[in-house]
Structure 1
């Protein structure tokens, strides 16, 4: 089970316009900072961890939030 969770986390990719999506996340969660939302390609896990720490959410919850923003 833990191995499957790690595979999912490692396969998560940011899609769409991150500048727009990060602004939407920041508007929804005012406690997020520019540093929390800084994204470097290939460093999705770091982004998930920073946002998760700030919002007190696990990686799966953060991935769901990002997916929601992508759909809006």
Structure 2
């Protein structure tokens, strides 16, 4: 998957990300912009999770939404 495909997919899934993690702001979404590691970091930061818990939440979300980075 190339960078353009990731950006296109990210735009489609942005709403689903915000549904899952409502504490993420529009600014957070701009920083994340389709980068998985950024999403994990922001979930960890906003929710006060340990890194492994944030990683598991993102992995579970990916599975449910069939999202590919």
TM-score, normalization: structure 2? 0.53
Contact 1:31 1:54 in 2 (8 A): yes
Select which of 16, 21, 33 maps to 1:29.
21
The alpha carbon displacement at 1:63 in A equals 0.7
The alpha carbon displacement at 1:26 in A equals 1.5
Give the superposed CA RMSD. Answer: 2.7
Corresponding pairs, count: 56
List alignment gaps of at least 5 residues for structure 1. Answer: 1-16
Separation in structure 1 between the aligned mates of residue 50 and residue 17 of structure 2, nearest angstrom: 16
Alignment-derived partner of residue 9 in structure 1: none
List alignment gaps of at least 5 residues for structure 2. Answer: 1-8, 65-69
Alignment-derived partner of residue 50 in structure 2: 58
**Structure with higher RCO (Cα < 8 A, 6+ apart):** 1
Does the alignment pair 1:68 with 2:44?
Answer: no
